[in-house]
Amino acid sequence: MTEPESGSEELQEQPAVAPTEEGGQAPVARVDGKPVSDLPQDLYIPPDALAVFLEAFEGPLDLLLYLIRRQNMNILDIDVSEITRQYMDYISAVEAMRFDLAAEYLVMAATLAEIKSRMLLPRQEVEEDEEDDPRAELIRRLQQYERFKKAAEDVDSLPRMERDTFPNSAALPELQRGDAHPSVDLREVLLALQGVLQRAELFTSHHVEKERLSTRERMSSILAMLPADRFIPFESLFTREEGRLGVVVSFLAMLELVKEELIEIVQAETLGAIHVRARTSK
Amino acid sequence: MNEENLKHVQNIVEAALLAAGRPLTVDQLRELFEEHERPARQVMEHVLMLLEEACAGRGFELRKVASGYRFQVRQDFAPWVGRLFEEKPQRYSRALLETLALIAYRQPITRGEIEDIRGVTVSSNIIRTLQEREWVRVVGHKDVPGRPAMYATTRQFLDYFNLSSLDELPPLAEIRDLEEIGREIEREIQAEIQFDSPDASEPDDFSAAGNEEASASRDGSSPLTTPDEDPSQSNTTLH
Amino acid sequence: MNEENLKHVQNIVEAALLAAGRPLTVDQLRELFEEHERPARQVMEHVLMLLEEACAGRGFELRKVASGYRFQVRQDFAPWVGRLFEEKPQRYSRALLETLALIAYRQPITRGEIEDIRGVTVSSNIIRTLQEREWVRVVGHKDVPGRPAMYATTRQFLDYFNLSSLDELPPLAEIRDLEEIGREIEREIQAEIQFDSPDASEPDDFSAAGNEEASASRDGSSPLTTPDEDPSQSNTTLH
């Protein structure tokens, strides 16, 4: 299995748990190995700690949620002034030493500042607020984010493979080779033959005639029966049970084989035993 | 089908699931039988139930996941079984889990939409990791400028997290009634305007008052109801 | 160790053997337990015996092999389990079918002779496939330069195509007729279109004639009994 995340994201893993816990018992960060369980109220934050601290958050919404929780506030009743002050303090401190602060944090800072300033101003028209209430929008976003932050934790706690369960298997018994061959319809063979015949007629003067198939088949079987290295008795190539027709077919097949010089028939003396041998090798 | 036959089918199913080492569907299991002996779907489902019962009190269990049925180690024994494998189970970063959760609960969803909700950019690494694990795939492109890819979760995702369908995901926390919140805010603002006292302490007061009311309104209401509640709806009812 | 503890160890061992996917030794199994709870060797062997007994009458069994213990699917279920691993067979190429047809009709035949008739070379793959399928075998070598192998069909070939002997293959003449009939049908259709006379009697007449011819040419012998196996029949009854 491969690490899915870059090293920096692994870094986020450890401290990230902290903000979700109320009361700040768990360390939010570690500085030089020492846990930093809560950020000092006077906002003196060791520069290194702050860097790690910010990395622990999945963005400005996550940081805001943390600040709200720390104040024991309900999302719905954010004290915008207080949260804005804290947020600004954090990010200005980070900015002071880190130049690559993500743009998202700065955008959020601007949004908070705008909300704060609006809240301070006397309201002129109700309609205007209804259509464009920046605080409501912020609340909506925080709520959405909080939902999915929780959903991510839920997904993480689902029993999963390789951690909570493992697939089971057992060794296979000896398997018979199944019939994995393609199936063929005799008609396909015939159609193929038809194609060959057509082409054969076009290309050559080959004559593929109607054959006595029984003879050709018998030719094959006689060849298969004959040893190449020795003679066997002529009679042994006939099967009595096949009757007269069978004998004729076998005889014709042997004549054909002789003609094609595939077998050799010898008779040592007149009226003596006839022997057959294949002229082919196997 | 008599009891003996059922037992026979049950043993074959057990053997096949262990031989496969991956989930098999009811139909895949039925296909193992030749036509003349093939059990009906209901029979197969009954056999799977018997098989599940037969695992009671043992080291493994029969589990239905998205791709079918599989045997797996009971969670109780995972700590011991885990020692078989040198690699420790992987931990996933919050960024990855949040992205995964958004895709799971909000699919199909574009990267931009994920970023809107998370408030940060989603790294390409995360998307790639999720795709490489085959938990997430592109299911299309949204018909907006740039035609961004829309992501959805896969069967493998469900299999990995022991789910048979997305319905089995833990329900998504319900958004508190924003319409009501909107009205509260409005009331507060009205009050502020009436008293016309733009004092710096006002927002604090406002907030404190809101606090009480909101917690009251939340009392007794279950925060977890429907798993899939459209945020755009709450959005429109806000104003 | 009391019975409850034994059962606990048994379940862990069962789960581990099923999850490992490889044989585990007694010591490897003992290593799964932390030192303070680790069962003695004798206990572990006893547990393995219990486990073996627990598999009686099930789809799998505990086996001791050279490298340890493993669960194995019972041999009895191999026929069903084997179907899990069957690959979907592909279709044979036209070249292969042509080669097979030539061997069937012209046996014993050499590769060179097949090539002469087909007008193209015959790949060794085709011959090998036919031999592996046991439809074709070498019955000897022709006594000409190079001593080429002569091929013939086998008993299995006849069995597969439900023939009791090669006699039952349709005679070559009929195959040609078949082609003729096909052309005639085409002509008929063309004529019909040209004269624009959708008269139902015409095709019927033709088809009856075709049938007669086909049965006549077969000379009372019936190489192909069922109608759907006979291409000439299906051709003539097309209308």
pLDDT digits (tens, 9 = 90+) for A251-270: 888 888 888 888 888 877 76
Residue A226: closest CA among A254, A190, A256: A254
Tell whether the model's pLDDT for residue A229 goes beyond 50: yes
Name the β-bridge partners of C71. Answer: C62
Contacts 24+ apart (CB under 8 A), B49-52: B50/B6, B50/B10, B51/B10, B51/B13, B51/B14
* Distance of alpha carbon A188 from alpha carbon A182, whole angstroms: 12
Angle at C226 between CA C221 and CA C232, to 5 degrees: 75
Chain C CB contacts of B81 under 8 Å are 12, 15-16, 19, 32
* Distance of alpha carbon A23 from alpha carbon A38, whole angstroms: 9
Tens of pLDDT, residue by residue over B24-43, are 999 999 999 988 899 999 99
Band (pLDDT 50/70/90 cuts) for residue A178 is: low
What pLDDT does residue A54 have?
67
- H or E segment at A193? helix A186-203
Whether chain A has a CB inside 8 Å of the CB on B16: the answer is no
Tens of pLDDT, residue by residue over C222-233, are 333 333 333 333
Tens of pLDDT, residue by residue over A186-196, are 777 777 787 77
Q: Is the pTM of this model over 0.90?
A: no
Distance from CA of B126 to the nearest CA of C (A): 29
Spatial CB neighbours of C229, under 8 Å, sequence gap ≥ 6: A185, A186, A187
Tens of pLDDT, residue by residue over B137-174, are 999 999 999 999 999 999 999 999 999 999 999 998 87
Residue A143: closest CA among A70, A61, A81: A61
Backbone dihedral angles phi then psi of residue B27, each to the nearest 5 degrees: -70, -40
Chain A CB contacts of B15 under 8 Å are 170
Interface contact B101-A148, CB threshold 8 A: yes
- H or E segment at A264? strand A263-267
Tell whether the model's pLDDT for residue B210 goes beyond 50: no
Better pLDDT: A130 or B14: B14
ipTM, two decimals, is 0.60
List the single residue in B19, B60, B84 with the smallest CB-CB distance to C32: B84
Band (pLDDT 50/70/90 cuts) for residue B224 is: very low
Whether chain C has a CB inside 8 Å of the CB on A183: the answer is yes
Q: Is C164 helix (H, G, I), strand (E, B) or coil?
A: coil
Whether chain B has a CB inside 8 Å of the CB on C32: the answer is yes
Whether chain C has a CB inside 8 Å of the CB on B228: the answer is no
Whether chain A has a CB inside 8 Å of the CB on C13: the answer is no
Whether chain C has a CB inside 8 Å of the CB on A205: the answer is no
Contact C235, C178 (CB under 8 A): yes
Interface contact C142-A280, CB threshold 8 A: yes
List the single residue in B18, B94, B176 with the smallest CB-CB distance to A16: B94
Band (pLDDT 50/70/90 cuts) for residue C42 is: very high
Share of chain B above pLDDT 70, in %: 72
Band (pLDDT 50/70/90 cuts) for residue B53 is: very high
Backbone dihedral angles phi then psi of residue A167, each to the nearest 5 degrees: -70, 150
